[in-house]
Amino acid sequence: MALHLGRLSAGSCWRASRGGRRGLCSWPGRCAAARICRPPGAAGTEQCRGLGHIPTAGGGPRLGTRLTTALAGLAGLAGLAAAAFGHVERAEMVPRSTGARSPSSGRPEEDDDELTRRCSCFMAPPVTDLRELRGRPSDMKTKMELLILETQAQVCQALAQVDGGARFSVDRWERKEGGGGISCVLQDGHVFEKAGVSISVVHGNLSEEAAKQMRSRGKVLKTKDGKLPFSAMGVSSVIHPKNPHAPTIHFNYRYFEIEEADGNKQWWFGGGCDLTPTYLNQEDAIHFHRTLKEACDKHGPDLYPKFKKWCDDYFFIVHRGERRGIGGIFFDDLDSPSKEEVFRFVQSCAQAVVPSYIPLVKKHHDDSFTPQEKLWQQLRRGRYVEFNLLYDRGTKFGLFTPGSRIESILMSLPLTARWEYMHSPPENSKEAEILEVLRHPRDWVR
């Protein structure tokens, strides 16, 4: 079941139509850009250890370090928990009428409330019923779901405005075991070859195998009748422009929570944002990294350098001896100093996506290029595919786990790519210049 979205403007709000066509239509209310779709704030601050401090249990890695990292890229989002945590029951598309609910209950007082107005700007209604969201406004699951929906809408609006004629396919899916997601994909646009922005909000019970993996990392988890409830949600995106002088971007922000038999909850956040240019443009690299650094610096001066290095280390194509791109930030398993503080950090990072990237696309999407430069772009796309299929832990976990939603997992791959036998660029060429940076990462801002 797919919806199609025509050209979006930055000043328009959108909602699912209630008629039989199930299109997306213009909403005449106030718009996301100014107020309604602004990511929600969070009150309260806990003074304790700095953001990014990751404790260990018994000297070993803490609870979800590698399991949550397996969600890097969110494994395509649709099979988030099913794929990455050993939940092997099949996640299926179900008819819209069997579980998804309309944006409001139809009562005038609810139609006018703030939550309904905010939701009118999303690409589709929230995965969680509005009555449940209203009933727990301070719960982190509510805050994170609204943040990822707003991020998805803001990014899609910005992309559609730049493309100037794009149509997003809006695929709302439901997971019968609990939750669902919204995948927005643009293909063969004027500016973008492929752009996907997806969200997932899923819940259920972790499999015993997943619980054992967590315990093996030093955590004692109290199950009830062998069950361990979990909730997981996130937004993930990969954007591939057509022009080889416009860079590819990837971002992902996610939240995971488990509840033990005694009611104790374990939680953590993860995510990041990284840039993959075909050709090096130092001004672009500085702009991108400076924007991310400014977002990080609001929450501590040590965060950007720590997460920048983590990003360089993670996106490493071992068999090529080079990074996938020029980096950005990457973090996982963040659970201190407090849930609210980490959420505000993630919120700042999500808000940095559009200003870090859209100016670069606007700058370069009309640049002239040669057939040779287009060929080099296709070869670099091949490297992107190699990393995602061979090394990305979320993708691998998803592909080899029954019940995963393969289309969403592979959403990150470009439409076109190329491999040539023993290809090597000439010395001192623009192609050799970017390879040098990929093999020896630089510090772009201080």
Give the pair of three-digit tokens for residue 52: 């990014």
Eight-state DSSP code of residue 55 = -
Neighbours of 203 (CB within 10 A): 18
| Residue 190 annotated as catalytic | no
Question: Which residues have CB under 8 Å from 97's CB, separation 6+?
Answer: none
Neighbours of 406 (CB within 10 A): 13
Eight-state DSSP code of residue 337 = S
Of 173, 168, 200, the closest CA to residue 184 belongs to 168
Contact 24, 14 (CB under 8 A): yes
**Alpha-carbon gap, residue 235 to 349, rounded angstroms:** 12
Phi, psi of 391 (to 5 degrees): -120, -25
**Alpha-carbon gap, residue 417 to 383, rounded angstroms:** 9
Of 234, 123, 127, the closest CA to residue 178 belongs to 127
Catalytic: which of 203, 240, 245, 250? 250
**Alpha-carbon gap, residue 197 to 169, rounded angstroms:** 10
Type of residue found at 211? A
Question: Which residues have CB under 8 Å from 233's CB, separation 6+?
Answer: 80, 141, 144, 145, 148, 179, 199, 200, 201, 202, 254, 255
**Alpha-carbon gap, residue 263 to 265, rounded angstroms:** 6
Eight-state DSSP code of residue 410 = G
Residues marked as catalytic:
250
